[in-house]
Amino acid sequence: MRAIAIFPEEKSIKLIEHEAPHITSPTQVKLRMLEVGVCGTDKEICTFKFGAPPPDYNYLVMGHEAVGEVVEVGAGVQTLKPGDLVVPTVRRPCHDPSCRACAVARQDFCYTGAYTEYGIKAQHGYMTEFVVDDEQYMHLVPQELRGVAVLTEPLTIAEKALLQVWAMQQRLPWQMPDAPADQPGKGLKAVVLGAGPISLLGSMALIVAGFDTYVYSRSVPPHPKAELAEAIGATYISSQTTPVAAMVKQVGNIDLVYEGLGGSALPFEVMNYLGRNAIFAFTGVPAFTTSTQTTDRLMSRLVGMNQVVFGTVNAGNDAFAAAIRDLSVFTQRWPDVVQSLISKRVPMENAPDALLGKYGGIKTVVTISG
């Protein structure tokens, strides 16, 4: 059957003949591939700096944003039947027993980095006529979505980001008290960086969730990207004509930044203007170059490793209760150490010296009475 493959050693991209797959286990399904999207990751792979063929192959079949039609199912398949429209997932688990993420089918949080990815890393992709894989990696899509189902995978990037935003912001009273249940972002302001597919799909998800959404990107209107952003109800602002400071002035307090750009320069500039209790979600991976830019490397790691970096100030009642609880645990466990954190106790008369740091040590305490 036909497939589109890259040959990293000879640095070529070709239409090739690739062996047709067959169902070999009862839980497998066979898909006739219908459409496969092309994204920044694919383009990066085609520069041969990223991506890897499966073991024993000198080529990698491309494609990970896919939609297919089920044409055959194994005897044990429960949820799918021929004719069904499906979107297959991209990542497959590592087989390291110590990986607690892959063990519970959360390979998107794989710890070992030994996961594989269709059309990206050690697994042939979907730019081919037929694919066989396990039922558990297939998502059934309603037939009426046939024309747009290929956008499912890129939208999952935004959906995962938003699911995590909600989970993380549970830590504070972020949501407006009167926000309707189906519009939890009502009254909050989101700035989307970039106007590519990941950004525009993310903007749609934000607007549906009720956020007042601004798309901040290079193109100067009139431009199709600006028109798309405006058509979904976002406010489009061009970074070419409106510098970051002016954009922030126009938006007001930013509650959420959703980055879908790739490069780190603009996102890090915007980060300087984040509002109180705001959250910044990165989804773009800066080009896999030998970039010496610290922020590019930082951003690649943040995104590629699902990291969270956050700021925190002051404490609520829960933290006070936790502190009191822990202080007794500490004094039982390390009685001398805890005591010795207080390196000096001085009477009130010596408080000025204490305040001016004259005593050094770890912590000086002023005794008031008793």
Contact footprint for ligand BGC (CB under 6 A): 39, 41, 64, 90-91, 117, 120, 153, 157
Q: Is the peptide bond before 222 cis (omega within 30 degrees of 0)?
A: yes
Instruction: Identify residue 267 by its one-letter amino acid code.
Output: P
Nearer of residues 122 and 346 to ligand BGC, judged by Cβ: 122
Nearer to ligand BGC, 153 or 212 (CB): 153
Shortest distance, position 120 Cβ to ligand BGC, whole Å = 5
Give min distance, CB of 45 to ligand BGC, in A: 9
- Minimal distance in Å, beta carbon 193 to ligand BGC? 17
- Within 10 Å of residue 243's Cβ, how many Cβ atoms? 11
CB closest to ligand BGC, residue no: 41
Q: How far is the CB of 50 from ligand BGC (least distance, A)?
A: 8
Taking residue 55's Cβ as centre, other Cβ atoms within 10 Å add up to 7
State which residue, 196 or 275, has the beta carbon closest to ligand BGC: 196
| CB nearer ligand BGC, residue 41 or residue 123 | 41
* Closest to ligand BGC by CB, 109 or 273: 109
| Nearest-angstrom CA–CA distance, 141 and 264 | 35
139: Cβ contacts below 8 Å, ≥ 6 apart: 86, 87, 88, 89, 152
Which of residues 117 and 133 has its CB atom nearest to ligand BGC in the complex? 117
Instruction: Give which of 233, 291, 289, 229 is closest to 260, Cα–Cα.
Output: 229
Residue 366, sorted as left (phi over 0), alpha (psi -120 to 50) or beta, turns out to be beta
CB nearer to ligand BGC: pick between 47 and 343: 47
Work out how close the CB of 91 gets to ligand BGC at its nearest, in angstroms, rounded to a whole number.
6
Q: How far is the CB of 133 from ligand BGC (least distance, A)?
A: 15
**Closest CB to ligand BGC among residues 198, 248:** 198
Least gap, CB of 184 to ligand BGC (angstroms): 25
Q: How far apart are CA 337 and CA 164, in angstroms?
A: 38
Q: What is the C-alpha separation between 195 and 281, in angstroms, rounded?
A: 15
The distance of closest approach from Cβ of residue 41 to ligand BGC in the complex, given in angstroms and rounded to an integer, is: 3
In the bound complex, what is the minimum distance in angstroms from residue 109's beta carbon to ligand BGC?
A: 11
Output 125 or 210, the one with its CB closest to ligand BGC. 125
Which of 62, 77 has the CB closer to ligand BGC?
A: 62
